[in-house]
Amino acid sequence: MRHAFPNTLRACWWLAAMSAALLMAALITLALRSASARAEGGTLADPNQACFECHAGAGKTLTFPSGEALSMDVDVTAYGSSVHGARLDCLDCHERNREYPHPAVEVRSRRDYARAEYETCYRCHFEQYTRSLDSTHFDAMASGNADAAICTDCHTAHAVTSLKGERQRIALTCAKCHKDIYDAYAQSVHGAALAEDNLDVPSCIDCHGVHDISSATTASFRSSSVQLCSSCHSNKKLMSKYGISSNVTKTYLDDFHGKTVGFYQEQSPSVWAGVAVCTDCHGVHDIKRPDDPGSSVVKANLTTTCRRCHGDATPNFPSAWLAHYEPSIDKAPIVFFVKQYYKLLIPLMVAGLGLNVALDLWRLARNR
């Protein structure tokens, strides 16, 4: 979905990058707005009284052929305070139970019941629903994993509340299934900051997307993960707030690993880039500050980190990587001087040779 404006060829790169960023920003704001709009809904006269006679604290359960029992009680308070509470009647979702006695439930298990019922969401939320069809969760479900997340797994059935801006909650929602990942994340520099209600750090969906959560194990996700990290880490304003260099993407892309990834993206994003991307050194969910003793990129651990790919790396080896610094007299004097030497020599040489050629031509012209 890259958007190109080829009449000004040079601008196309910028526009592509900017439109991607704008798109993301727009999505977020849009989501925020509509959420706030919904919150303002009015109270509903209770048309559900009939339902609540049986389903509010009557203690009924439904037993599935699998033997599992499902409580038929609805937390009326929770539902009332949910986003749907003021707007939807029970029957809007549980349409098939309009008649009484209700038709028999014909599913085998509690999970199957949830999977049969959640489809009702799409009648209103078809946009989110269709997006979810592209998600890795749906793929998992399609390939037979009954436990793959469906709408109600994240949003709950009755206590649906808006998650806009609730980054911590979002992370906790994901953590319901992805416990160990969440634990790692919670320990990370991002997760720790999120716990302090810092909204600048990414939570799960900032990297993985919301409904169309794509698989994070594909080659293209790996390749594009550089841009993913860079979307925040190249933001000067944001990074300067925390004293982090916004140059990391540039220095990465200028080096061997980054250039290789760049070529992979140009040529075949679907091929697994066999070189290190951000996460290979810094970790994925457990990213630590580079000066954290537990960080994989702190000096003490760097050799081990390098050895993951460069099996015979010696303690000297990690310093071959300038740690996202531009070579300077302080950081890498040899590199700096070599660079300066060629910066000086090449123009001098070109000028000298050009002068030589010009003189030669002049002489030939004069001799004619």
Partner 1 sequence: MTATTIPYAAPIELPHLPEKVKRFSVWQRVQHWMLAFVFLSLVATGLPQKFNDAGVSVWIVNTLGGIDNVRFFHRVLAVTFIIESALHAGEIGVAMLRRRFRPTMMFTLQDFRDAFNMLLYSLGFIHERPTFDRYDYRQKFEYWGILAGAVIMIATGATLWFPTYVTKLAPGQFIPAAKEMHSGEALLALLVIVIWHFYDVVISPAVFPLDTAMITGSITGERMHEEHGREYARIAARQASAIPAVAMAVAPGTPALPRDNGREPEAPWGGVIRRQLHLRVTMLVAIGMAGVLVALTITALFPVNRSIDRTLDERRSLALVTARQADFVVRQGMQTLEAATTGAEFDLRDADPAPERSALRRALANSVFSRVYITDAEGKVLWVEPPLDPSREVNFAAYAPESMLVLGSRKPSVSGLSTSIAGGGPIVSIVSPVTGENGAAIGLVAGDIALDGGRLAEIVEPAALGKTGYAQIVDSRGNVLASSRPGQILERSDHEGQIASLIQQGRATSGTCHECHVAAGQQQRSTDVMAFAPLDTAPWAVLIRQSEDEALAPARTLRQRAIMFGVPAVLVAVLFSWLVARSVLRPIGVLTTAANRIAAGDLSQPVPELGRDEVGGLARTFEAMRVRLRQSQEAIWSWNRQLEDRVRERTHELEVSRDSLRSAAEEKAALFEELRRKEAARGELLRKVITAQEEERRRIARELHDETGQALSALVVGMDAATLAGESDMASIRKRLVDLRAVTVDALEDVHRLIYDLRPSLLDDVGLVAGLRWYAETRLQSSGVTSEVMVMGEEKRLPAEVETALFRIGQEAISNVAWHAKATNALVTLDFRDGGVTLSVEDDGAGFEVASVSETSDQRRGWGILGMRERAELLGGTLRVSSRKGEGTTVKVTVPLHGGGDRDGEDTRPHR
Residue numbers 117-156 binding partner 1 by CB under 8 A: 124, 127
Report the residue from 104, 143, 196, 366 that binds partner 1 according to the rule CB under 8 A.
366
| DSSP-based three-state secondary structure for 353 | helix
- Pick the closer one to partner 1 by CB: 47 or 57: 47
Q: Which amino acid is at 29?
A: T
Kindly state the smallest distance separating residue 196's Cβ from partner 1, in Å: 30
Report the residue from 65, 66, 69, 87 that binds partner 1 according to the rule CB under 8 A.
87
Kindly state the smallest distance separating residue 48's Cβ from partner 1, in Å: 13
Distance, C-alpha 217 to centroid of its chain: 12
Task: Point out which residues pair with 62 in neighbouring strands.
Answer: 70
Cα(15)–Cα(5) distance, rounded to whole angstroms?
8
- Pick the closer one to partner 1 by CB: 158 or 310: 310
Cα(310)–Cα(313) distance, rounded to whole angstroms?
5
19 forms part of the interface with partner 1 (CB under 8 A): yes
Whether 79 and 85 have beta carbons less than 8 Å apart is answered as yes
- Pick the closer one to partner 1 by CB: 241 or 343: 343
Kindly state the smallest distance separating residue 295's Cβ from partner 1, in Å: 19
Whether 211 and 135 have beta carbons less than 8 Å apart is answered as yes
Cα(70)–Cα(67) distance, rounded to whole angstroms?
10
Residues 93-122 that bind partner 1 (CB under 8 A): none
Residues 51-70 that bind partner 1 (CB under 8 A): none
Residues 164-223 that bind partner 1 (CB under 8 A): none
State the residue for tokens 């009755």. Answer: 158
26 forms part of the interface with partner 1 (CB under 8 A): yes
Report the residue from 14, 25, 146, 199 that binds partner 1 according to the rule CB under 8 A.
25
Which of 71, 79, 77, 78 lies closest to 54 in space, CA to CA?
71
Beta carbons within 10 angstroms of residue 82's beta carbon: 20
50 forms part of the interface with partner 1 (CB under 8 A): no
- Pick the closer one to partner 1 by CB: 76 or 335: 335
Tokens of 269: 């994003």
7 forms part of the interface with partner 1 (CB under 8 A): yes
SS3 content of the chain, % helix, strand, coil (to 5): 55, 0, 40
Distance, C-alpha 273 to centroid of its chain: 19
Distance, C-alpha 89 to centroid of its chain: 35
Report the residue from 16, 17, 35, 44 that binds partner 1 according to the rule CB under 8 A.
44
360 forms part of the interface with partner 1 (CB under 8 A): yes
Number of residues that bind partner 1 (CB under 8 A): 75
313 forms part of the interface with partner 1 (CB under 8 A): yes
243 forms part of the interface with partner 1 (CB under 8 A): no
Q: Rounded to 10 degrees, what is the CA torsion of 236, 253, 216, 167?
A: -10
Residues 317-336 that bind partner 1 (CB under 8 A): 317-322, 327, 332, 334-335
Residues 250-309 that bind partner 1 (CB under 8 A): 253, 255-256, 259-260, 262-264, 266-268, 271, 274
Distance, C-alpha 332 to centroid of its chain: 34
- Pick the closer one to partner 1 by CB: 60 or 343: 343
DSSP state of 166: -
Piece of 56-64, 200-208, 231-239, 349-357 that binds partner 1 (CB under 8 A): 349-357
